[in-house]
Each structure stands twice: as C-alpha cells, then as structure tokens.
C-alpha cells in the first residue's frame, strides 16, 4: 500500500461516525475504524492520538479560524461585534454538513467521556477568542466575558440549528441567538 | 478506632490541600491523605469516589444552593436578576475562605485532569441553573443563555476575587462583573 492515502482524515472520520452510530462508541475499536476506512491502525495514529480525537479533528481548525476572524474584524467595532462577525465567518464552514453535525452530536450526547472532551475543546475555543480580543486591546475581565458570551451563543445556536424541526441556516440562528443573549442580559 | 469520625470530610479536605500543596497532586496518594487526616483509606472512599473528588466536595452543595436560590427569587424579577440574586446568596458561603479557595485553585491550575473535572462541575452548575429557570417558566434558549451568563460571571468573579491584589468582597466583585457583562453585551 502506498504511504500516501488520499483524504485519510476524512475517510477515518466518516468510518468512525458510521461505526459509532451502528455499534456505539465504546464497542468500536481503532482497528475497526481503520479497517472500515481501508487504512491501517498505524495511519489512524498518525492523525489522531486516541479513539475520541477522530470526532474532534475540526476543533483546532475552528479555533484558528475564529481567533483569526476576531483579530481581523474592523478596528472600529465593539468586542462583542468582533466576536459576532467572527462567528458569522466560521459557521459558513458547517454549510452542507448538518447531517454530519447531527450524527456527531448524537454520538457525543450518548458518551460522558466525549462530553468531557467537548467541554475541554469549548473552553480552549473561549480562551483563544479571549486572547484574540486582548490582541485588539480589550482588557480583562471584558475580554474573558465577551469570549464566554460568544462561545455560549455558538453552543446554544449549534443545538438549535441541528434540531430536526429547525428550518433556518446556521448564520441566521447565530444572529438570532446573539440577539436573545443581548435581550436576557439587558433586563 | 470508633466508626464515628467527627468532621471527616473537613479533615480529609484540609489534609488533601496541604499535601497537594507540599508534594503536588500526582505524587500524593489517597493513603497519604487519609494518614495525614488521622483516618483510614476506607473512610476516605466512604466520602469520595477518587483522589480528585476531595477537591470538589462542595460542588453538589453549591449546585443545590444556587438552584434553590434561583427558584426562590421573587416572581417579579427578570431571569438574569433571579440568577444575580442567587449568586449573591451563594457567594456568602465563601466568606472567610479566601485562603482555602486560593490553595485549591493553585492545585487545580497545575493539573489538567483537575481542570477537566472543574469544567464538568461548572457545566453541571450551569445546567442546574437553567433547569431552575425553566421551573420559573423561562423558555429555551433564554434559560440556557441566562444560566451560561450567570456561570461565566461566577467563574470570572471568582478569579478576580482570589487575585492577591484584590481588596473587594466576593459579592461586590460578582455584582461588578455582572455589570461588566451587561456592558459588553449591550455594545
């Protein structure tokens, strides 16, 4: 077999989601995932440190995108609007991937160890946004509070967006959720 | 030795904090903690499921206090103010315990596995507040957004309160942090 496996990450993610859906997360092994993807276990561990990590492959990219978008927002906008602009920019990544997002969320919701990993990733996302805000000259605690508010909006909007009854696009749900956060904190 | 050990939980917490501070979290064993407290390992495991849990003994109580205070806030107040009232009520618990809080935070900050446990406890706290708000008739996503905002305020205020340079009481820092959150989201 060639050392070069086209789209190995994408194939491993797809295989993992299929198997976690069919058999559950715990009974599935890394060997099963690699076999389903037509790859070796060795290849799996070239990309992911453990069985959980295949579900979080997008996290580092999302974090970098979000931090860059906060840093790149027009100088004149308020911190919360820099975060809003950044969320707008990044949620485009999810377009056309709602089924993938739903399958992934179903697996995570069924497994406490995956929920823990998700919490850690979200905390890292919040800290990256806070750091990007500090880079814009926003002091603390404003930077931390604004970042936490932005990540809360992202998490809540994500849940609303993947709901089977939802008809709205992710960017629309994000904007509406931010407006609701502003309303509840303004009371 | 008598089966009845007065204030076993408090003695184990104190012994654990001392040892984690002196030797670090990883090298300290449950046997060490029990011995320092003048108790047996068996007694330790009667109260705590693992070595980490001794640092989180107050979490369940805090969660119940906060949820009850949200539920008991005057009917007329807005959701965010019900949460503010509840935070005011619970942070009194920390009075006179700033040194304990600092020691505990230093141990947690030095250990990723403890930071994970803390994230999980905070997520549970937020969900308990959201549930208490739903019990007041607050719908979603407002309940979740308000609860997340309240817990963000609690976390940020806690960090500011234990800072060595801080002179203000915890309730004052909480009120000021909430005002800052309202300011950053109002922009």
Average pLDDT over residues B131-138: 96
Tell me how close the Cα of B2 comes to any Cα of chain A, in angstroms: 38
| Token pair in block for residue B183 | 């300011």
Q: Specify the pLDDT at position B96.
A: 86
The answer as to whether A96 is a domain residue is yes
Q: How far apart are CA A181 and CA B156, in angstroms?
A: 18
**Does one domain contain both B84 and B48?**
no
| Token pair in block for residue B95 | 């009075």
- Which of A91, A97, A75 has the alpha carbon at shortest distance from A176? A91
Q: Specify the pLDDT at position A93.
A: 85
Q: What are phi and psi of B16, to 5 degrees?
A: -65, -45
Contact B185/A186, CB-based, under 8 Å? Answer: yes
| Token pair in block for residue B72 | 């008991």
Contact B149/A181, CB-based, under 8 Å? Answer: yes
- C-alpha pair distances (Å), A23 with each of A33, A40, A54, A57: 12, 20, 16, 21
Is the pLDDT score of A96 beyond 90? no
**Does one domain contain both B132 and B42?**
no
Per residue in A128-143, pLDDT (tens digit) is 999 999 999 999 999 9
Tell me how close the Cα of B186 comes to any Cα of chain A, in angstroms: 6
The answer as to whether B22 is a domain residue is yes
Under the banding of pLDDT at 50, 70 and 90, the label for residue B60 is confident
Closest residue in A to B176 (Cα–Cα): A141
User: At B94, which CATH number?
Assistant: 1.10.357.10
- Which of A10, A164, A32, A157 has the alpha carbon at shortest distance from A87? A157
Can you tell me the ipTM of this complex? 0.88
The answer as to whether A30 is a domain residue is yes
The answer as to whether A3 is a domain residue is no
Per residue in A33-73, pLDDT (tens digit) is 999 999 999 999 999 999 999 999 888 889 999 999 999 99
User: At A25, which CATH number?
Assistant: 1.10.10.60
**Does one domain contain both A67 and A154?**
yes
Q: How far apart are CA A127 and CA A121, in angstroms?
A: 10
Cis peptide before B141 (omega within 30 of 0): yes
Under the banding of pLDDT at 50, 70 and 90, the label for residue A1 is very low
Cis peptide before B86 (omega within 30 of 0): no
Contact A80/B123, CB-based, under 8 Å? Answer: no
Cis peptide before B176 (omega within 30 of 0): no
The answer as to whether B106 is a domain residue is yes
Q: Would you give the DSSP letter of residue A49?
A: S
The answer as to whether A131 is a domain residue is yes
The number of distinct structural domains making up chain B is 2
Is the pLDDT score of B1 beyond 50? no
**Does one domain contain both B13 and B103?**
no
**Does one domain contain both A68 and A157?**
yes
**Does one domain contain both A107 and A181?**
yes
**Does one domain contain both B163 and B147?**
yes
**Does one domain contain both A93 and A40?**
no
Closest residue in A to B116 (Cα–Cα): A120
Per residue in B30-50, pLDDT (tens digit) is 999 999 999 999 999 999 999
Per residue in B81-118, pLDDT (tens digit) is 999 999 998 888 888 889 989 999 999 999 988 998 99
Domain that includes residue B179, residue range: 58-186
**Does one domain contain both A95 and A154?**
yes
The answer as to whether A163 is a domain residue is yes
Nearest CB partner across the interface for B144, out of A148, A156, A183: A156
The answer as to whether B138 is a domain residue is yes
**Does one domain contain both B106 and B73?**
yes
- What is the average pLDDT value for chain A, to the nearest integer? 92
Q: Specify the pLDDT at position A177.
A: 96
Higher per-residue pLDDT: A6 or B64:
B64
Tell me how close the Cα of B128 comes to any Cα of chain A, in angstroms: 16
**Does one domain contain both B32 and B106?**
no
The chain B residues in contact with chain A (CB within 8 A) are 78-81, 116, 119-120, 123, 141-142, 144-146, 148-149, 152-153, 155-156, 159-160, 177, 180-187
**Does one domain contain both A134 and A179?**
yes
């Amino acid at each position: 077999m060639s050392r070069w496996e086209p789209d190995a990450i994408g194939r491993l993610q797809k295989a993992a989601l299929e198997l976690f859906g069919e058999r559950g997360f715990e009974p599935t092994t890394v060997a099963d995932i690699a076999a389903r993807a037509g790859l070796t276990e060795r290849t799996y561990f070239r990309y992911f440190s453990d069985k959980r990590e295949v579900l979080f492959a997008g996290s580092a990219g999302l974090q970098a995108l979000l931090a860059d978008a906060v840093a790149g927002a027009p100088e004149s906008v308020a911190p919360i609007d820099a975060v809003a602009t950044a969320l707008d920019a990044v949620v485009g990544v999810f377009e056309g991937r709602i089924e993938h997002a739903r399958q992934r969320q179903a697996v995570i919701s069924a497994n406490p160890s995956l929920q823990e990993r998700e919490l850690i990733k979200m905390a890292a996302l919040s800290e990256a946004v806070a750091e990007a805000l500090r880079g814009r000259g926003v002091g603390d605690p404003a930077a931390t509070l604004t970042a936490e508010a932005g990540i809360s909006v992202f998490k809540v909007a994500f849940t609303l967006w993947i709901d089977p009854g939802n008809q709205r696009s992710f960017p629309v749900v994000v904007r509406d959720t931010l407006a609701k956060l502003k309303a509840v904190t303004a009371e």
